[in-house]
Structure 1
């Protein structure tokens, strides 16, 4: 097994995220991560204090990735179209990393500390577009509405809760179009 010096914090976090997505939060243990990176579990404690700290690092990396995906959405002259693209990016992220998504959106029984500055940075594109649509005084309220609607829709979708038939994709597009219209001042 490699010595702890050969195992970086980035490798540990990457392994933990892979375990989270493949096996779920319950199986995200220090032992599982140690096996994945090829060290003994006690060696991990030189880089990560405990499982709670590991989960916090995974949540932080997940928020950073979500923020990067939202920041990568190109802006246009139409904030309604921009909001729709942000919604699609948000949804795409959730489908690509459902367990990480659940972790950062508070679906877990374990409390995951959040870094307000990091969340602010990740959500900046949404706040910018909602400020254009609703005005600066209502941007935060509009961003919360957007996030709550998106999370509700995605939560139901990931849970397989849309059981009445119909086209879920069309329903998503319908919802984001109506939401953008409602937010527009």
Structure 2
């Protein structure tokens, strides 16, 4: 199971996540308590492995501004977490994750309108688009024919529920932010435990 740790703001946390087995790190450039500048992101990203997915998170942003941050910071994947149209999502030269807030089956069906590299399924919108620590009904994915789509499961995941979420939804990747925080800050011990829990099933299947 692949794991994305979102809301990275410092080098130490980023390196700990990578050493613990993270496959992707998320850097938030939208309004959020985890917002980061392109300069801050660049200083972190230059310390990271080339093959790691460095995901820039944007909400209804001007496309030229996104391209500027991609170039400045070294982002190699774009996550669009707003009301972006399929046409908007198709204009970028780097891989795109389209985030969808899931409240019902109808929201899930919106995925069919897009042609993106990944689809992040998140809980309903709160104060911010994502990172609100609330789950949605994972059974929406259970038994769905995904036609090879790479699903990233997000929304309220934690050390306590990630195994169950993986068993029910069978995603390509899981994404966590608030679930590995203590008093609003990333907790490296929780990051390590979350990655261990998420990858435990994969290791059992291999053995």
Higher strand share: 2
Normalised to the residue count of structure 1, the TM-score between the two structures is: 0.27
Higher helix share: 1
